[in-house]
Structure 1
Amino acid sequence: MSALEDLDEIDRALIRALAEDANASAGALGRRLGLSQPACWRRIQRLRAAGVFRGARLDLDLERLGFGVTVFLGIKLATKGRVSLEDFERAVRAIPEVQVVDHVLGAFDYRLRVVARDLPDFERVLRRRIMTLPGVGNVEANVMLSEERRPGPV
């Protein structure tokens, strides 16, 4: 399975159903899609083997865990020649508050999603961890006010 064209309607319906509830059993999914439990399980395994599913993740409620602030940072590296992208990426991945690291094209080289307990905690993370990363030049911060998630896959 190499492309979206290789997926049939049942595969697409199965992906949508798993996006809604990743814990659904093959039996329940099969009943919903008009398949037997073994047939549904085989399809799930085929999609997994093809790399359609990259793994299971928990959808954590960060606020309940004490992280009330989410900030998106745009990072422009100052010295691309002296500091490699790999050095920056390795260093930024070691910061636990950095949840997502995207290498992007545009005004910035990287876009980071950073969580913190509150704004003073974010300032500490920014000053002591992020601003000291190799090659960091310009930084732009955008504090998330609210988030609306689109359910399911594309």
Structure 2
Amino acid sequence: MIALDTTDRRILRLLAGDATLSASAIGRRLGLSQPAAWRRIRKLRDSGAIRGQRLDLDHEKLGFGVTVFLGVKLATKGRVSLDDFERAVTAIPEVQTVEHILGLYDYRLRVVARDIADFERVLRRRIMTLPGLGNVEANVLLSEERRPGPIG
């Protein structure tokens, strides 16, 4: 864990809201010089507190109107089964996230599709053929509200 001061937390909050902000823009908002803001951002990156920047796509505007979360329980467990499953599921473009979890299911998948018929095609032709697949439970996303997580 990295020790964060108030300024570091303020920088992280600004970047969580808009990862494209420049060091000079952050400096102006926080009353820092551009070099001071840049050094702090660099320190946060080097420490691993900032792992990268991501592009947040609006799947619905891109024609993917359905998001489904799948709870997946493997039929067989073991290192080979996990590796085979993970390798195969990450090759499916409609699968946006693969989370190895503890609980009722072994994995949670976020799957996007154009519509329910398209999701059924992805489910039948791609997901149901995955190695080691056991039980699958689907939950269709109705709405989503995103909030930045806590910072220190």
TM-score normalized by structure 2?
0.95
2:125 aligned with 1:153: no
Tell me how far apart the structure 1 counterparts of residues 80 and 45 of structure 2 sit (CA, whole Å).
37
Q: Deviations over 1:47-77 (max 9, x none)?
A: 1111111111111010110000000000000
Cα drift, residue 153 of structure 1:
3.4
Matching residue within 68, 71, 75 for 2:65: 68
Contact 1:26 1:41 in 2 (8 A): yes
**Matched residue SS, 1:75:** strand
Tell me how far apart the structure 1 counterparts of residues 134 and 123 of structure 2 sit (CA, whole Å).
13
2:82 aligned with 1:105: no
2:132 aligned with 1:135: yes
Which structure 2 residue ranges, 5 or more long, are not aligned? Answer: none
Label 1:117 to 1:45 Cα distance change in 2 as closer, same or farther (>3 A). same
Cα drift, residue 79 of structure 1:
1.2
Question: Alignment RMSD, CA only?
Answer: 1.2
Q: Deviations over 1:84-126 (max 9, x none)?
A: 2111111100000000000011110000000000000000000
Tell me how far apart the structure 1 counterparts of residues 56 and 84 of structure 2 sit (CA, whole Å).
29
**Matched residue SS, 1:84:** helix
Aligned pairs for 1:1-40 within 5 A:
3-4=1-2, 6-40=3-37
Label 1:56 to 1:62 Cα distance change in 2 as closer, same or farther (>3 A). same
Name the structure 2 match of 1:44.
41
Name the structure 1 match of 2:81.
84
Contact 1:77 1:135 in 2 (8 A): yes
Tell me how far apart the structure 1 counterparts of residues 64 and 100 of structure 2 sit (CA, whole Å).
24
Q: Which amino acid is the alignment partner of residue 8 of structure 1?
A: D
Cα drift, residue 82 of structure 1:
8.6
